[in-house]
Structure 1
């Protein structure tokens, strides 16, 4: 029997594919794995140019983001809470990534922007993701965007509209604090009016996965 200090650290295999979100074609992209909330690099790689596939082995006892980037696409980050997934019995996780081309009208979901329940102040884990938006706007100085926030259908319409509007404003204010000109970014809350998934199942029961998808922060390119 192994002594506790001799036991290998538990790990999880993370694999998936990278796709062009517009055409759904496989995409070769640079991948960086970072720990949250500090943004420290935990590994890197490149997805296959043939089928967009990738894989990496990560220690399970941390939260991570997987960031994929490619030329003329906005880099995307996906959050992975490996600790909770391993406790649920997972030893291998499949995660596909979709990169959106940088074009007028395209919408970019920010997967690692977090708020406490019923609050609109940004949690510190959000800063790594938002700093990338700042870097993107500095790299493309002619781009203007709309920053939007969305809720699920719990709560009243008016409450959700106000909450989402305040959350969008909080994100905008953070980006402006980093030196981005105010004229380049507007904010808008949409409440529960633009769901991307059902909030309930066909039988009327709650759909927590759908609700989670609907609670989101996005930005849209208005001018390029």
Structure 2
């Protein structure tokens, strides 16, 4: 079993990383450096995309050029029956985007949610974008059901709610505000594409970005009014 130097880390990205920014490695390098190992073991979990072959190839193409040992875990074509041992061999778990509702359902069916929680509590770093960001919170704003933005109950490793792609999809902000004002979703965080929320335990430690103008936001409900607080990230590139 491998552990990071700082226990219980999650990096929740609104969008970005190798799949959205193939020529911008800032967020992915930030994640790799958290491990404090020369060649960390990084496992990609593409469940939300239905284990898309193209997505998996993108991962290996990107991380094969970085200083790490990449692998992936498919639930549609699993290479082992001992998921726990495989997950505990990793330093970083990187969860891709796609349909969060399907991701949650499959993980629970395979009891991967329990394995990932145990791994997280033991120091394995968890991260991901879009569905791979929402999944770690208690609730998320998701487009998993076609034609609707809805509230989805998630794993609850992190308290509150999460909404990715805040600047990338026009309907995200008004829907999150409406849901929160009506008391249909808990208070939480929204992230523009290219922004990562770095949690240690349940505390937000820092906010980083791969895009100089990208922002994060804290959304709170006072009576029936939504208060949106802009959170400035640390830009990881040259200014």
Q: State the TM-score, normalized to the length of structure 2.
A: 0.27
Q: Larger Cα Rg: Structure 1 or Structure 2?
A: 1
Hey, which of these two has a bigger chunk of strand by percent?
A: 1
TM-score by length of 1: 0.29
Bigger relative contact order (CA 8 A; separation at least 6)? 2
